[in-house]
Structure 1
Amino acid sequence: MIHGIGTDLCDVRRVADTLARRGERFAQKVLGPAELQVFRARRARSETRGLRYLATRFSAKEAFSKAIGLGMRLPMRWSDCEILNQASGQPHIVLHGELARWFAAQGLRAHVTLTDEGDHAASFVVVERLAGGDQP
């Protein structure tokens, strides 16, 4: 059963402006540890690739927060929600800390897709309630 759906459209130029103003502190606030490693590696190869990676992750976390119905309130924290890639390239959500415990207790599973083109990054998240999950 679907618990929630979230979508987000992010202007990559806004992310670029924020990154220019705040430096890597912005990336450290938004990204989890594994994402931060990927961001740094991509940014070292190409500033544009790093920027697009950061924008897609920002967008996906916004969409995820909408799909779970919390917005950016605890236990939802930017760095406790990572959008990583399977070996195949498929994105998936990895949760940590209190957010992971809350999500598991709710009996939820998330699916994410993301894309970027030109000046925009977009994402779509579907959160489903597994059979036997707690009802809020």
Structure 2
Amino acid sequence: MSKPARGYMLLEALIALLVLAVGLFAGLRLASVSISSSAEAKARAFAQYYAQDKLESLRTLIARGEYHSGSCPAGLGAGSLLASSSSADTITMQGAVFSRSWQLAPYCDPQRQALKVWVTWQDKTGTHRIELESMQAWSDPARSRER
């Protein structure tokens, strides 16, 4: 008759504890990556909103005639600017500093403007940048009835 083996129960408990620890570590790592990705997505969404807000305000100013001279301004050609931000607008949100700049370039044939807004921000992972571009055609409301 052989003796019953001793110590197997302790070994099984240690292996089970090791498997549990690895599972918990993987779960915590997944949660950490998920939170980090969520914060990055939130910052990117805010940057896009911040750029879109400026793009819409520029479109409104163009519609009111702020950046329209009636004809192609003398001396302005490809690569010239009608207007641009003299300094970046900045706002701090959730520990990140967002800087917004813009420019408005003419396209004289037909009369239209190219709008470009970019937002850069710095967070713990580095510097990020998004750009939004749009084309705004000028339409004379008095002449729109002739068509």
- Normalization by structure 1: what TM-score? 0.25
Rg larger in structure: 2
Q: Larger relative CO (CA 8 A, sep 6+): 1 or 2?
A: 1
